[in-house]
């Protein structure tokens, strides 16, 4: 049996009773208790998957989805042990995720290499600039034309398999872009395989070959002639052509290896500097908040994007909460900064200990916290209410039994009811949080309760703009 987060075990008889009660009531707190009981099973199954390059945390997240499905569908009366039933669903969910991460149709080698170059360039430029790069920046990084980059970006879904259940109209509206190799294999793309400096080195090495060897290399690699066609053109046998290709390649490898050795120290030094710059960037962004020990804003934005994509892929609900300590700036001025820090630590501890293991809590800025609740819909409002009441019970900031204490506000938004994407979730929850502030006291507001029909969209910068607006409001 799995173990709960606190290390305790639920007896088998009690577990059966919980399953029967959950089958009747569908109470989320019962499901959460059962899921927590088998959290160790999810991690065990995820770590047992061999030969995968995916992060274990991602596999665990997918495993929890399978565990939740197992809890929802398990029938005690069938006489099957839940741990056996859950293991199959957890493993199946992880394998389904791994299949989705792989391409079923094999794309051409040259296009695969091009895709990898463009992907690496996008990742590197995003880390360097803190934003998604423009097409011009990608072109400069990989040294190819804009038409080629745009064509590659448009055709990334070409080698994915669609559903047989999709109607003709849906197929027409969502048809993958047809690959146009003429645009990719154009003169603008001629420097794809080798940048200018590498072409100079190659030309120098080719010049050292015999004339017949150069001719064979040109026919075989640059004009895509077969060995039979080359033999017919040169008036020699196919075996001799094969010998010339091997000999020429052996000489080129030797020549290029010597050139690479001369440049190895420079490349190594450049790579070291690049890694140092990446480490500095990671340190500046701050993986964890020093005061509360929670994750920071950058991590919250990335995880919200990942969870949204997962919810969109599997047609699940996803909830986002923004929780704010109202009047924290005034409290810091009235009391001391140390007292404000202690208030933040206590709120962070209460939030972290009253959510599920699969949920994410982060300190975004100042007294604002963000929560990500995968596979959560209307029950997110109940959780917000429970969190607000739990923090209010502590009377944080009160100097006497009847003294004033810090109030807690929360804004709740759910995908796809209140928003259609991750940025929309942030905007909807921000508006709900502002409505909760206007109401006064401890409380929360669900987005659609005030903004019926609102389906906000926007950019990830909305969260940073919302936090800036929050700071301005506190200073006033």
**pLDDT tens digits, residue range 209-242?**
888 888 888 888 777 788 888 888 888 888 888 8
CB atoms within 10 A of CB 43: 17
pLDDT digits (tens, 9 = 90+) for 112-151: 677 778 888 888 888 888 788 888 888 888 887 777 777 7
| Strands ordered across the beta sheet of 407-415 | 360-365, 368-374, 318-326, 407-415, 443-446
Find the helix or strand (DSSP H, E) in which 362 lies.
strand 360-365
Q: Are 98 and 52 in contact (CB under 8 A)?
A: yes
Of 186 and 159, the structure prediction assigns the larger pLDDT to 159
Q: How far apart are CA 300 and CA 283, in angstroms?
A: 16
Average pLDDT over residues 369-389: 92
| Per-residue confidence band for 411, with pLDDT thresholds at 50, 70 and 90 | very high
Q: How far apart are CA 19 and CA 31, in angstroms?
A: 8
3-state helix, strand, coil in the chain (%, to 5): 60, 10, 30
Q: What does the angle CA 450 – CA 454 – CA 459 come to, to the nearest 5 degrees?
A: 120
Query: What local confidence, expressed as pLDDT, does residue 450 receive?
Result: 57
Q: Are strands 443-446 and 318-326 parallel, antiparallel or unpaired?
A: unpaired
Residues with Cβ within 8 Å of residue 360, at least 6 apart in sequence: 295, 300, 303, 307, 371, 372
Q: Are 427 and 454 in contact (CB under 8 A)?
A: no
Query: What local confidence, expressed as pLDDT, does residue 373 receive?
Result: 94
Whether the pTM exceeds 0.85: the reply is no
Q: How far apart are CA 64 and CA 69, in angstroms?
A: 9
pLDDT of residue 455 exceeding 50: no
| Per-residue confidence band for 157, with pLDDT thresholds at 50, 70 and 90 | low
CB atoms within 10 A of CB 275: 10
pLDDT digits (tens, 9 = 90+) for 252-305: 888 777 766 666 667 677 777 777 776 666 555 556 777 888 888 888 888 899
Query: What local confidence, expressed as pLDDT, does residue 430 receive?
Result: 92
pLDDT digits (tens, 9 = 90+) for 312-350: 988 899 999 999 988 787 887 787 788 888 888 999 999
Q: Are 353 and 345 in contact (CB under 8 A)?
A: no
- Of the candidates 459, 357, 469, which has an alpha carbon nearest to the alpha carbon of residue 411? 469
Q: How far apart are CA 104 and CA 162, in angstroms?
A: 11
Alpha carbon 114 to its chain centroid, in Å, reads 22
Query: What local confidence, expressed as pLDDT, does residue 113 receive?
Result: 72
Average pLDDT over residues 381-388: 91
Q: Are 377 and 333 in contact (CB under 8 A)?
A: no
Q: How many CA atoms lie within 13 A of 171 on its CB side?
A: 8
Query: What local confidence, expressed as pLDDT, does residue 318 receive?
Result: 94
Domains defined along the chain, listed by start:
12-100 (1.20.120.1810), 108-193 (no CATH), 195-285 (1.10.10.10), 297-475 (3.30.70.270)
Average pLDDT over residues 169-185: 45
- DSSP structural state of residue 107: P
Three-state SS at 446: strand
Any idea which residue has 């969502």 for tokens? 174
Any idea which residue has 């936090």 for tokens? 467
Q: How far apart are CA 42 and CA 259, in angstroms?
A: 51
Query: What local confidence, expressed as pLDDT, does residue 101 receive?
Result: 67
């Amino acid at each position: 049996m799995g173990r709960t987060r606190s290390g305790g075990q639920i007896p088998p008889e009690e577990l059966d009773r919980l399953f029967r009660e959950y089958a009747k009531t569908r109470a989320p707190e019962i499901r959460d208790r059962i899921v927590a009981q088998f959290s160790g099973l999810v991690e065990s199954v995820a770590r047992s998957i061999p030969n995968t390059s995916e992060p274990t945390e991602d596999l665990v997240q997918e495993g929890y989805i399978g565990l939740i499905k197992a809890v929802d569908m398990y029938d005690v009366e069938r006489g099957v042990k839940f741990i056996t039933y859950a293991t199959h669903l957890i493993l199946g969910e992880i394998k389904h995720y791994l299949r989705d991460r792989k391409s079923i149709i094999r794309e051409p080698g040259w296009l695969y290499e091009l895709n990898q170059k463009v992907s690496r360039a996008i990742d590197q430029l995003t880390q360097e600039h803190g934003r998604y790069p423009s097409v011009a920046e990608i072109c400069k990084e990989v040294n190819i034309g804009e038409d080629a980059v745009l064509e590659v970006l448009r055709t990334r879904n070409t080698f994915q398999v669609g559903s047989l259940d999709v109607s003709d109209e849906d197929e027409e509206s969502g048809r993958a872009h047809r690959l146009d190799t003429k645009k990719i294999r154009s003169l603008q793309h001629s420097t794809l395989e080798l940048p200018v400096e590498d072409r100079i080195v190659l030309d120098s090495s080719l010049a050292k070959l015999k004339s017949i060897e150069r001719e064979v290399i040109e026919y075989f690699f640059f004009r895509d002639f077969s060995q039979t066609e080359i033999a017919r053109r040169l008036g020699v046998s196919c075996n001799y052509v094969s010998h010339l290709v091997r000999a020429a390649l052996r000489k080129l490898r030797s020549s290029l290896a010597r050139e690479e050795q001369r440049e190895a120290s420079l490349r190594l030094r450049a790579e070291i500097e690049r890694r140092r710059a990446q480490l500095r960037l990671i340190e500046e962004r701050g993986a964890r908040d020093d005061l509360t020990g929670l994750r920071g804003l950058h991590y919250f934005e990335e995880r919200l994007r990942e969870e949204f994509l997962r919810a969109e892929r599997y047609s699940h609900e996803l909830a986002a909460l923004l929780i704010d300590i109202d009047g924290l700036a005034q409290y810091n001025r009235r009391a001391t900064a140390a007292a404000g820090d202690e208030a933040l630590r206590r709120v962070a501890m209460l939030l972290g200990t009253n959510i599920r293991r699969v949920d994410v809590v982060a300190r975004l800025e100042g007294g604002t916290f963000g929560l990500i609740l995968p596979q959560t819909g209307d029950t997110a409002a109940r959780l917000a209410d429970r969190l607000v009441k739990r923090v209010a019970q502590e009377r944080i900031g009160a100097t006497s039994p009847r003294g004033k204490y810090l109030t807690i506000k929360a804004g709740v938004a759910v995908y796809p009811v209140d928003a259609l994407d991750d940025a929309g979730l942030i905007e909807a929850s921000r508006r709900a949080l502002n409505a909760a502030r206007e109401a006064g006291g401890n409380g929360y507001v669900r987005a659609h309760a005030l903004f019926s029909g609102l389906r906000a969209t926007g950019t990830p910068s909305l969260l940073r703009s919302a936090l800036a607006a929050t700071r301005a409001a506190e200073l006033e």
